Structures are given as structure tokens and as C-alpha cells.
Amino acid sequence: MKTYPDFVPNFRGKRLAVELVVFGVVQGVGFRPFIYRLAHDLGYKGWVKNIGFGVEIHIERDKKSDFQDFLFALQNNIPPLAQIREITVMPASYIGLKRFVIKKSKQEESFVFISPDISVCANCQAEMMLPADRRFHYPFINCTDCGPRYTIVQSLPYDRKQTTMKRFIMCPSCKKEYTNPLDRRYHAQPIACPICGPQIKLVKSRTRKEIKSGIEKASSLLKQGKILAVKGLGGFHLVCDARNATAIKTLRKIKNRKTKPLALMAKNMTTVQKYAHISPAEKSQLLSPRRPIVLLKKRKNIHHIAPHLDEMGIMLPYTPLHYLLLENIDLIVATSSNQKDAPIMKDDNEGIDDLCDYILSHNRPIHIRADDSVMKVVNDQPLFLRRARGYVPYPQPVPKALKVDHHILALGAELKDTISVYKNGYVITSQFLGDLDEYQNYRYFEEIVQHLTKVFEVDPKMVVSDLHPDFHTTRFAKKSQIPHLQVQHHFAHILAVLLEHEYPIDRKVLGVSFDGYGYGPDGKAWGGEFLVADYDGYTRFAHFAEVQLPGGDLAAKQPWRMALSYLRNAYGENLPVLKAMQKLGSKKINGVLEMMKQNINTPLTSSCGRLFDAVSFIAGISPAEMEFEAEAPMRLESAAAPRIRGRYGFEISEDPSSKGCHKISFQKMIRAIVRETEHGIPVADISAKFHKTLAFAIANAAEKAKQQHEVNAVALTGGVFLNRRLVQEATKVLERRGFTVLRPTQYSPNDESISVGQIAYALGLSQKKK
């Protein structure tokens, strides 16, 4: 049953007419034809139209009514993609209308939500496969229940003339469907057919010579080992045959990606189950209209797809084009078409020719680029690695006590950035934008700031950024000439969780924020943080004991540096001789040891991410240099034995440099891991015990926080909590000890959620100033 916040009609008794304003995801989802059919079925006259703030409805009868039949149906029978957030019901004057009609949209100040891009529905998919249907094998078939939305919208209200479909003039048959309120395609803005709609074109890259038989030929080329760029909803995929090792190696060379995992697209669930283990919750996510990439445990390994890892990312087709392409090949690699660290390409003229042999494109423009969303399923709930297509721009309500009248823009951090805007009690967060130290991503960031503020008519009176003075987002905010707030990185992480769960503003939480780096107010590199927090502020309750970061940023790329740092911290100058270190050579090792001894370019860090790097290398599973972020921790997680009884030691003590703060030392654990590697204990056991040790460190710190600050809830956040094993272990131990565990399920725990937390901080501060 579809539900929405309770409302009380602003009248009593029976009347001849009422007006309703419905606020939520109600444009582009078949809501107006639903209202039309409902009014006809119940015998009401009147009208419905899109307005800037949602949908406006006038209903009347020549006999007085309480309209409960209409209101009940509105609550229980709305279209599958609609989401109602608020309803206002007011008495209205009786006009004496003769019928119910759908009026043209009203152009005015806008804050209406819009559906994300949605997978092709079962009805359209079935029609597309019927030889007698006029849309047989048409790769742009859609209706009000499916198809492109966010990526084609240029402005609101959501009407065809406000989308990239405006260039395609409907043929008489499409026009008839579009204007018939009883048709499934009534006001389906991307409506099209082979006569009047977008068309597919297959061309040879570089020469742009057109190849006949488009999609069918494309499938044939994939079987021959060719690399194709295929234009989808939010950009191009680079695709190849997932079982052709030579093609995959070629693709990896093109993408400059040696070991970083590649995503797969499977024809159907039968194919998925052949290669992966699937829980009911994972199956539900795979089959959902949002069609994310889901990371699944391997059943059967496919060479070169996700080396050194125990899981791989798989998605099902989500556009008609995908289904047609996979008719004759059941498993393909489908990775974003971008140069290393750059945004996904959406247009034919962005350099796509350099990445492929052939291009399967079309002439429906993409206005806003968006990558595929990526998630794990942990304890039957989503754990987002990347939130984009299929989920953006769904709104997030804020607690009523935090609502303010002015608009807010939050710019996020620097890596894995998103932006968020606040208006009228809701937060809209952008898709994943990437790392802003790459110029093209920064341009993408600027593009999305402009787009979201334009589409949702946000006029920010406040801009929020990270505390770091040198982030691109901080510099952007300072140049904006808008009142500027800065928020500590890990505090923002925690606030994002509180906002998502609409956590009460008068209750504190222990926020456990683990990541690779965040700028602390003391200027140090934070990253293993325990903050007692609410919307008003935070107290640093505990942190990982600081160790040196030899070489600064270089230590985040070369795990052996952090291994040396932790070994030196645990053993002093008498370091054990480890097998993992021997291949590095004494010159490298002695140079870094001398650097630490002399305190040259070795800032202190409390980073949990760097602890993972160190343990992964000491255990002998990490490469000396990582190709991609978190490669060493991911290998360590993948190696963990399913069950283990033991754990390692650690020590929680008072931090003498900060009154009331504690530090957690893992010297005992490091020494134990070294002993076990020397004795040949399997890496699987070491990894499992390491994860359990961290879980107990979290729980023990939570017990102390409960005693001193009376907190009963723990929020787990930060990029380290993308680790399935750690989330499961920590949740289990905390719940056994009576704590409520909160974690992000609608956003990623990594830096994508920073902008959400920044909005929460600005709202809390605004309330304080009232």
C-alpha cells in the first residue's frame, strides 16, 4: 500500500467541490492520467494539471460529498513510480463543470520532484518482442511507467518541450496515444516509434562509416571480440564479450585498468545464477526498476573481470536497446566509457572513438550524464558504493524541527563528490560526480551545480563546504559571494546518517566515522573517529592512535609505507624481517625508515583506511602499489574466512593530548599478526580476526561513550564501512550489547554523503540562530 504523511482536510462535513495540491514524485510517472481515470470511475468532474510545486486537482459533484472515496484511492492506488510526500486539501467553489479534463501545465516557480530514469517495464518489453506490434524491436519504446526521466529533463514542469525529446515531432499514431487519458502512454513525454522517434546508428570508430543491420550486427561484432561503445540512458558503456579473454585484455589496456573490477551485464537471472550466488534481497535489487549493479559473491570465476576479489558486479538490462543487444549474447562487460578518472561520456564528439572499435549510438540527446549505481546488499539492506542512475534525484525529507525557509547549497568534499540542495523541507542530492582534482570532473561539478539550482529553482542563501582550506569545493564556495559555512569532514559523514534516518534533534549518537582522510580542526589527518554528536555539534570521544604517514599522499597509494609505519610504531627501531618486505629492497625500506626517524614529510594520521592498507600488506595479500583506491583493503576483505572465533588485542586509553578523549592502539594486534604470518597462519584467518578485532574496538568504545555520555545509538559511516564483513561484524556485536545501529542505506557511506551531512549542519545552525 502506498502511504504518505497524514493530512487533515481543511474543511468539515460535505461540500460540492474541493481542491488538492499533491507534492512529491508526481510528474512524469503517469500521475495525471491516474487522476483522470480515478475521477471518471468515481463520477467526479473537474481538472488536473502540473504546477511548479506538484500537481493541482479540482474535483466536484452536483451533490455534496466528503470525497473520502477519492482520497482513499489516492492513498492506495497511485502509479508504481509515484511518491506522494504531502497533500493539501482545501474547500473550493462549485463551478458546474461537465467533465473531467487534464489541463496544460502551468509554468511557475518550481519545486516538484521528478522520477529517476527507470528500466523498461514488462509491458513495453513484451510489446517490443511482438512481431505484429508497431514498435517491434524498437529500442526506444517506453510508457508512463518506464524510460528516461532525469537525464533528458532540461527544466520543470516535466513536459516534452522541456526535455531533449522536443526535437522529435510525434506522428499521428503516437499523438493519439499521447492525448488519450485512458492509454498507457498518455503524456509519456519520451513517447516515440520507428516512424517519428530516435534512431540507432552503428558506425566504425574514427572513420564514422555507417554499418548496416545496427543492433544485430553489433551483437555479431561482440562475438568476434570487438569493443563497442553503446549509448545508454546516462552515457556510453564500453562493452565486450565477457568470456573473451583477449577482448577483455584489450578493453583493460584501453581503459588503463590493470586489475580494477569490471561490471557485467547479464541477459537474465539464469545467466546471473550461473556465475554468482544470489540472496532473495540481492535478487530483488537486481530486478528492481532502478537496475543497479549489485556486487555478488562469485560462484564461478570469469577471468580478468574482478581479479583477487571474491565478488563481482552484475546488472540486468535496463533499456530496450540492452535487451535487443543481449538477444544473441548472454553476458557482456559493460563499463563506463571514460578516460581514467574522468566523467562518463554522453556525446559522440567527446573522444569516444579512441576507446572502441565500433560505436552503437542514437540521436536522442542526453542532457545530464549519470553513471550506473553500484551497491552491495548487507543484512538485506542496500549498501551503496555509488548512487546515480535509478536513484537520483529522489528527495530526502528532513526532520520537521530542522525545517527553515531559506535555500541551501552544499558542495561536498573533494573525492567521490556530490552536491545537495535544500528547499522547503527536502534535500535533493546529485549523482556521483567523481574526484574534483580531475579537471573534467570539476567541469561536471560546475555543470550539476547550475543544473540542480535551475531545475529546482533553488536560490541559495547559504553555501556549505568541507573544512579543508584547499579543496576545490571550498574555493568554489569562497568565490560564490554567498554566506559560507565549513563543516568538519567526519562530522558531516555522521550528520548524513542522522538526516537520512530523520534522527531526533534532541538525542546524541556515537558516530563512528572510518575513512582514509579528513581534515581535522587541529590540521591533522583524521580517519578513525568516534564522535559524540547531534545536529548542534560534536565532541571527539576517541580516535585511532596516530601513526606516521610516510610520504604523505604517496602512503595512500603504496601500502608498504603504512606497513612500515605500523611496524615501527609496534616494534620501535628493531623491525621484524617480513616476507612481504623482502621484494622491496633495502634501499627503499631504509629510505622510508630514515624519513620517519627524521620526521621528514611524515604527518601523523589516525586513518582507519591506512590501517587496512598496512595489515593487508603485512599479511602478504596487498600489492606494493595500488592501482585503484581501496584495492588493498578489498583484497583483505575478500580473503577473510567465513567464521573465526578468535580476535586480536587492542588498547583503549586516555589521550593525554586531549582531555576527555580516548585513543585506540593496535600495537598488540600488529605484533600478533606478524607472529602469525611468520608461523604460516592462513591469510583467511588473519583477515577474519582483524575484522572481528575492529568490531570489538567499536563496541568497547561505544560502551565507554554510553557510560560517559548516555548514548544508545551508534552510526557507522565513512568509506571503510563499504566493507561488508566489517558492517556485519560491528552490527552484530553492537546489537548484542543493546545499541541501536544506524548506517546509510539510501546514500553511500563514502564521501558521496558528505554534502547531505553539510545540509544537516547548516539546518542545525540556522535553527540555533532563530
User: Which tens digit of pLDDT belongs to each residue from 499-558?
Assistant: 999 999 999 999 999 999 999 999 999 999 999 999 999 999 999 999 999 999 999 999
Range with lowest mean pLDDT among 180-184, 304-308, 315-319: 180-184
Q: Exposed, middle or buried by CB within 10 Å (0-12, 13-18, 19+), for 18?
A: buried
pLDDT at 1 over 60: no
CA separation for the pair 612, 606 (Å, rounded): 12
CB 415 within 8 A of CB 435: yes
Distances in Å between the alpha carbon of 315 and those of 233, 282, 743?
14, 11, 24
User: Which tens digit of pLDDT belongs to each residue from 464-506?
Assistant: 999 999 999 999 999 999 999 999 999 999 999 999 999 999 9
Mean pLDDT value of segment 720-736: 98
> How do 100-102 and 45-51 pair as beta strands?
parallel
pLDDT value of position 407: 97
pLDDT value of position 84: 87
| Sheet containing 395-397: order of strands | 395-397, 426-429, 420-423, 407-410, 460-466, 484-487
- Helix intervals (H) in 47-121: 68-76
Provide the strand spans (E) within 250-297.
Answer: 264-266, 293-297
Name the 3-class secondary structure at 125.
helix
The DSSP bridge partners found for residue 228 are 239, 358
pLDDT value of position 110: 55
pLDDT value of position 496: 98
Mean pLDDT value of segment 735-762: 98
Per-residue DSSP letter, 118: B
pLDDT value of position 11: 53
CA separation for the pair 215, 321 (Å, rounded): 8
Beta carbons within 8 Å of 122's beta carbon, 6+ residues apart: none
Residue keyed to cell 568509506: 719
pLDDT at 53 over 80: no
Mean pLDDT value of segment 207-227: 96
Q: Exposed, middle or buried by CB within 10 Å (0-12, 13-18, 19+), for 680?
A: exposed
Q: How big is the CA angle at 58 (ends 54 and 62), to the nearest 5 degrees? A: 165
User: Which tens digit of pLDDT belongs to each residue from 330-363?
Assistant: 999 999 999 888 899 999 999 999 999 999 999 9
CB 158 within 8 A of CB 113: no
* 2 pLDDT tier (thresholds 50, 70, 90): very low
